[in-house]
Structure 1
């Protein structure tokens, strides 16, 4: 990190390098860069000046050690992304999650725009790390922070999902909109009953007008987070998903290796945003890493489930090399 302390000064070296390359090597105008990266033109101008002051821009862009602009650009081109951010990790899954969260926090602090309506997925370690790494923004950046899925797991997970939504809303200055329900229920009729509640109806209506979503990317590896009313999702359900080709999920909407949605009765048990509303959101930020997430991340990118990816170096290299 460089520059001033606090959220407004936590300028990411990675993003300064990206802006410098877009301007000096790709001949993009400052307004075009600002539009693509969802940042202000004044921030683009300031970062270009800082790139010169830091010695990054001379006759060519010289990224500091630990920054991978060429690999990020390859990911963007190969998968048609808006942006890719790559972090180094020691290989330990927990440290990887927190490294990803720190990078995502810096990205959001720089790119959240005034009036943003941000959809926020259920509790996960990467989202927890992201919110924990953020500091309160000096200016209001969000109109609302909208929970797009109920809490997945034991009842305590519902409280954690609500708490994270509230914390992000406080950081960004937006109004929180909660979904105080389980993320997965036992029967379709139970789901239908929940969607009769006025609070749920109001939050669900907001899903149609989101400007951004912030999500983790899940794998089909059995996890203690997958619960139904305190009981684990049955192995039969997971086996069905795998037999249908599921490799991962975003907000419990499962997809195959090519990113195609998996059609199954399980969808009728999920209390959360639908596939259509999710995919039409203008910016979809996915945060995921670790060896067991490769197939899930690749499927999410192939299917356009996210258009901004924050991932680790190992996965980024594998994604670029994949045929």
Structure 2
């Protein structure tokens, strides 16, 4: 950068102070200093280049942009949302759901084919908080795994798919079968169902997958993975720490082979991982190992989580 005189530096400083500190518009500065407006514009740019003006962004309370950017950089995420849950120590789902609903409201802009893991308590809360769109925000909303749990819970999952479809003016696509069956033979027979074959073909059209991240760690309200205790014990013995859409993985995010694989009716791992935006909504320190493994293994590439988990992930 060329050397300049003190008089020129004095002019740079004066123009910069008038504009940035005193709020005087460029035409008024030009008139006051008897110089042209284009020159004022050039002087303001030069003041930035020479370091006379530095822009500092002060983050408001509850906004954690630096931490979100660190998560994106460290784990190769497309996006990250960090939610302050200080007032929700025992249950992080309400603030996570509110934040996720706000994120989806902005990012569902039309034409998407959305896949939903409908049994997740967190995602049920997300859909509850999602506002009605004014225009069509998605083409289809698809169930990613068959019905899980008791009959009443399966009905609730079906209603959740229908509700999200209503909110986005999309067409709902259901999996009309149970998500986990008793044996591999039963699964093979059910996979011949023509209705399921049609759903499987449509899974390849997905542009967004909205999922929870389940943990194999026992929880007071029961396990995250809707299988019996023997199945849970088997997964932990094999080194599994978490799951996404009933695809189970270890602490590094690598798939764990188990008997569960041959009994699940849902989207296959390759098709799921080919979805462009895979949004995981999960929080709470109990789930930290599962969340870390899910992002390290590339199961999700957009993460919505709480502040405590985010800080631990960036240590």
| Same fold at TM > 0.5 | yes
CA separation of 1:92/1:180 partners in 2, compared to 1, >3 Å: closer, same or farther? Answer: farther
Distance 1:176 1:187 in 2: 29
Match of 1:42 in 2: none
Check conservation: 2:123, 2:211, Cα contact below 8 A. yes
Match of 2:300 in 1: 306
Instruction: Establish whether residue 293 from structure 1 lines up as the match of residue 290 from structure 2.
Output: no
Q: After TM superposition, list the pairs within 5 Å mapping 1:233-244 onto structure 2.
A: 233-235=228-230, 237-244=231-238
Check conservation: 1:153, 1:225, Cα contact below 8 A. no
Partner SS for 1:209: coil
Instruction: Establish whether residue 83 from structure 1 lines up as the match of residue 53 from structure 2.
Output: no
Distance 2:65 2:134 in 1: 29
Q: What is the Cα deviation at residue 91 of structure 1?
A: 4.2
Check conservation: 2:115, 2:141, Cα contact below 8 A. yes
Q: After TM superposition, list the pairs within 5 Å mapping 1:124-163 onto structure 2.
A: 124-163=120-159
Q: After TM superposition, list the pairs within 5 Å mapping 1:260-279 onto structure 2.
A: 260-279=254-273
Check conservation: 1:285, 1:309, Cα contact below 8 A. yes
Distance 1:183 1:84 in 2: 29
Query: What's the CA shift string for 1:64-118, capped at 9, x where partnerless?
Result: 1000000110000000000100111134343x10111111111111011321011
Distance 1:296 1:62 in 2: 33
Distance 1:131 1:122 in 2: 10
Match of 1:205 in 2: 201
Distance 1:220 1:102 in 2: 25
Query: What's the CA shift string for 1:156-186, capped at 9, x where partnerless?
Result: 1211111110000111111000012221111
Match of 1:29 in 2: none
Normalised TM-score (structure 1): 0.77
Check conservation: 1:84, 1:310, Cα contact below 8 A. yes
Distance 1:224 1:289 in 2: 15
Partner SS for 1:304: coil
Match of 1:189 in 2: 185
Normalised TM-score (structure 2): 0.79
Distance 2:123 2:90 in 1: 14
Kindly report the root-mean-square deviation, in angstroms, between the aligned alpha carbons of the 2 structures: 1.5
Q: What is the Cα deviation at residue 205 of structure 1?
A: 1.4
Q: After TM superposition, list the pairs within 5 Å mapping 1:47-126 onto structure 2.
A: 59-89=55-85, 90-94=87-91, 96-126=92-122
Partner SS for 2:182: coil
Check conservation: 1:158, 1:180, Cα contact below 8 A. no
Q: Which runs of 5 or more residues in structure 2 are unaligned?
A: 1-53
Distance 1:92 1:184 in 2: 33
Partner SS for 2:291: helix
Partner SS for 1:100: helix
Partner SS for 1:300: helix
Distance 2:272 2:103 in 1: 21
